Structure 1
Amino acid sequence: MSVELGTFLAHLMTNPLMVAVTLLNVGVIIVNGATDAPNAIATVVSTRSMKPRPAIILAAVCNFLGLLVVSMFTSAVASTIFNMVNFGGDNTVAIAALAAAMVAIIVWGGAAWYFGIPTSQSHSLIAGLTGAAIAAMGSLDAINWNEWVKVIYGILLSTFLGFGLGWLTAKLMAFFCRNMNRRKANEVFHWGQIIAGAGVAFMHGAQDGQKFMSVFLLGIALSAGLGQSAELALPVWLMVLCAINMGLGTAIGGERIIKNVAMNMTHLEVYQGFSASFSATLCLILATFTGMPVSTTHVKTTAIMGVGAAKRKTAVKWQVAIDMVKTWVLTFPGCGLIGFLMAELFLMFI
């Protein structure tokens, strides 16, 4: 399915539900920019390699480039989200349920942002879509388990590989640089940290941008009466739209999340900040090209934890990490339930 901008605008003019899905999806992208995107450059700020405002600008630019460049080579993550659930054969019911899912994601993400907790918008998106689809179909047949299982794989990869790579990279950097002049080493890692942080932001754009583009295309397919069987193609105009709104969210709410992730969890030296960002980038590359939807927040946080643990176990404020894990654990049933209830409510009026 290849969608021209004119076709999209035509659907907006004739379908109020499509307008609702579009506005809500834009809202979700902005919330994502405020809660997820800042984690990409959190360690760059905490190690004082960059000041918050330039770092946020860097994140916004790299998010845009990552979304644009990577999507030209693979749309695996977008395809997973597009086919993960089935909203049924009634397109009016399906698009109403899709709108309900967007409301659930905004409610959940807004509450997390208010309390300064870096929740995963990726997990919220998956949970909200799943809950709404179950309501639309009336059964668990709404879930395509062959695609949904990639979510589980992504959680395992981001948790264990993120932590493990963070720990290993920090150990290796400390070993190979043990005889270097400390000031010279810090100068090298200062720039390495900025480049690695840009890499995380670049891959965040590719990961999360594709997820939200798939929701846009799903809404267009349902509005046009095509269902979910259409072949997925990502238009450049949609990449630009998603990237701009994600950058806007980062500019609005980025600093609150940066402080909670990088400054409250553990104190990082420059080489450790590089290790965390480098490890997170590798995990995101692997997940993106294999179609596993993962959370940048999850990946970056576990990498930071691994780096902190490589120094010593007491270097990590584990309670902060535990609070974050609780949020992740609650997201699937919590946001999924909100998506289900919102869909049931919306369906009462059609």
Structure 2
Amino acid sequence: MQDDTDRHFDTLDRDLGRIGTLEYATAYVARPMVGMGIALVFMALAGLAAAIFFGQQPINYVIVAAAVLGAYMAINIGANDVANNMGPAVGANALTMGGAIAIAAIFESAGALLAGGDVVSTISKGIIDPSGMGETNTFIWAMMAALMSSALWVNLATWVGAPVSTTHSVVGGVMGAGIAAAGMAAVNWPTMGAIAASWVISPVLGGIIAAAFLAFIKSRIIYQDDKIAAARRWVPVLVAIMAGAFAAYLALKGLKRIWKIDIGTALLIGLGIAVLSYLLSKPLIRRQSEGLENRNKSLKVLFGLPLVISAALLSFAHGANDVANAVGPLAAIVHATEFGDFAAKVAIPQWVMVIGALGISFGLFLFGPKLIRMVGSQITKLNPMRAYCVALSAAITVIVASWLGLPVSSTHIAVGGVFGVGFFREWHAERRRRQTRAARPSANRLAVEEQRRRKLVRRSHFMTIAAAWVITVPAAAVMSGVIFVILNSVAG
């Protein structure tokens, strides 16, 4: 009797174990489905908002469809682009994943709603001549195709795990639709040439600036006998540089509604904020450094808060600047549908801006962690000092690019900064090994295989990201051209 009872309980335990395993597997499989479901609900609500806003009968289904696509694009920007701002801070353990998502969602939305919605070029920085489109309907289908193709491309890149430029995706989409609608002559090729040049200039400049700051931190702080005293001297200077750079950047990008600022005025504003930040941060850093041990681990504490602030400012600036990628073509479609013509620039309605801001936040929350981990920890190992160099590089590179008049991508700059820090670490480690061998010829030499294993930048990620960057514009252009032909033939 006892044996039968034991066997019965053993069978029950096995069955319960199977059920528990099944439940766990179901929850694991369903997790991405939940995110997809929430995203679809948000897109449906965006379409409903457009239908309510344009409540006349019959409902304008073109605007409803464009609103759904704009929401889809915004979700993809949140999933892919925002990772570049938050990845370094998370990889350096200055922020948790949850904290990074919360800060990014707040500051991206604030940037989009407060500073991102004055006027947007519907032809995406003068890439095509809308007058060559002929009919208004042709222009509407071209913008629809650009929106759909760029969103699909960014979605595919996020799935593969490659941080790409949503700006360049929209550029490719607009170019492809323009060529399909009005031929090669419709494209402003000098502008496209400048954008192509920025593919190389943005990441290289970002990488060089980030590496230069890391070299400075190593020589002036890390390799000093009294690290804490050196940090008290130089960390306030670095904080001032960051504050000044961001102030100048936000003055250029975020104050367009109130005051048209030139680069010289923006730099003067940045200088004033830099001096003020230095005076405020110096006593704070001194107080924070009291009692810290004279070792590298203590330095991470001093860079933690400035890194978090820089990540928040990057998110605000990104929301102000890049939300137009999601809602620019949508605003163009709304304007063309309402007024029956197309203009080079249109004002963005507030409900369109809300769709863009909320979409970016939803995309970040639902799908952002994958790319945040990629940028923050899978390319190269980051600590607060290295991550701070990446953030500084992003702000300064945008200022330099604005001064030179180059259209740059925040994605390329930030990821280029991560690569710059990683390759500098490799070069620096190799230089120290050579110095050790020169001082001690008897020191063991590493085998070739071991030298490859000790590379500090993952080459597979480098090749994947570089390839994705190169093919973003042509891939989005081809997709957009095909989609335009289909839409135009169905509508016609």
- So what's the TM-score if we normalise by structure 1? 0.88
| Structure 1, 113-122 or 42-51: larger mean CA deviation | 113-122
Cross-structure match for 2:213: 169
Aligned-pair CA distance for 1:340 = 0.5
Q: 1:200 to 1:303 in 2, by over 3 A?
A: same
* Aligned partner letter, 1:21: A
- Per-residue CA deviation, residues 118-146 of structure 1 (Å, 9 max, x unaligned), is 23222211111211111111x11221335
Verify the 8 A CA contact 2:307 2:391 in the aligned structure 1.
yes
Cross-structure match for 2:174: 129
Cross-structure match for 1:86: 129
Aligned-pair CA distance for 1:300 = 0.9
- Per-residue CA deviation, residues 90-136 of structure 1 (Å, 9 max, x unaligned), is 11122122222222123222222222222322221111121111111
Cross-structure match for 2:467: 326
Return the alpha-carbon distance in structure 1 between the equivalents of residues 489 and 404 of structure 2.
39
Return the alpha-carbon distance in structure 2 between the equivalents of residues 339 and 152 of structure 1.
18
Give 3-state SS (helix, strand or coil) of 1:161's partner.
helix
Cross-structure match for 1:221: 335
* Aligned partner letter, 1:41: M
1:203 correspondence with 2:331: no
| Structure 1, 154-163 or 273-282: larger mean CA deviation | 154-163
Match of 1:20 among 65, 78, 84: 65
Cross-structure match for 2:482: 341
Return the alpha-carbon distance in structure 1 between the equivalents of residues 464 and 79 of structure 2.
19
- RCO greater where, 1 or 2, for CA within 8 Å and sep 6 or more? 1
Within 5 Å, give how 1:139-218 maps onto structure 2.
139-145=183-189, 147-178=191-222, 179=224, 180=227, 181=294, 182-218=296-332
Give 3-state SS (helix, strand or coil) of 2:380's partner.
coil
Verify the 8 A CA contact 2:147 2:326 in the aligned structure 1.
no
Aligned-pair CA distance for 1:305 = 0.8
Return the alpha-carbon distance in structure 1 between the equivalents of residues 201 and 123 of structure 2.
16
1:49 correspondence with 2:49: no
Cross-structure match for 2:241: none
Verify the 8 A CA contact 2:112 2:357 in the aligned structure 1.
yes
Give 3-state SS (helix, strand or coil) of 1:232's partner.
strand
Aligned-pair CA distance for 1:148 = 3.5
Return the alpha-carbon distance in structure 2 between the equivalents of residues 308 and 210 of structure 1.
32
Q: Which has the larger radius of gyration?
A: 2
Cross-structure match for 1:281: 395
- Per-residue CA deviation, residues 154-202 of structure 1 (Å, 9 max, x unaligned), is 3344122111111111111222213313344211111121112222212
Return the alpha-carbon distance in structure 1 between the equivalents of residues 377 and 181 of structure 2.
43
Cross-structure match for 1:316: 457
Verify the 8 A CA contact 1:31 1:110 in the aligned structure 2.
yes
Q: 1:288 to 1:198 in 2, by over 3 A?
A: farther
* Aligned partner letter, 1:31: N
Return the alpha-carbon distance in structure 2 between the equivalents of residues 321 and 221 of structure 1.
41
Give 3-state SS (helix, strand or coil) of 1:268's partner.
coil
Return the alpha-carbon distance in structure 2 between the equivalents of residues 18 and 37 of structure 1.
27
What's the C-alpha RMSD, in Å, of the aligned pairs? 2.7
The count of corresponding residues between Structure 1 and Structure 2 is 343
Return the alpha-carbon distance in structure 1 between the equivalents of residues 153 and 144 of structure 2.
15
Verify the 8 A CA contact 1:27 1:106 in the aligned structure 2.
yes
Identity %: 24
- Per-residue CA deviation, residues 43-82 of structure 1 (Å, 9 max, x unaligned), is 111111111011011111121222244437x75x747716
Within 5 Å, give how 1:250-329 maps onto structure 2.
250-287=364-401, 293-313=407-427, 314-329=455-470
Return the alpha-carbon distance in structure 1 between the equivalents of residues 344 and 467 of structure 2.
37
Verify the 8 A CA contact 2:144 2:329 in the aligned structure 1.
no
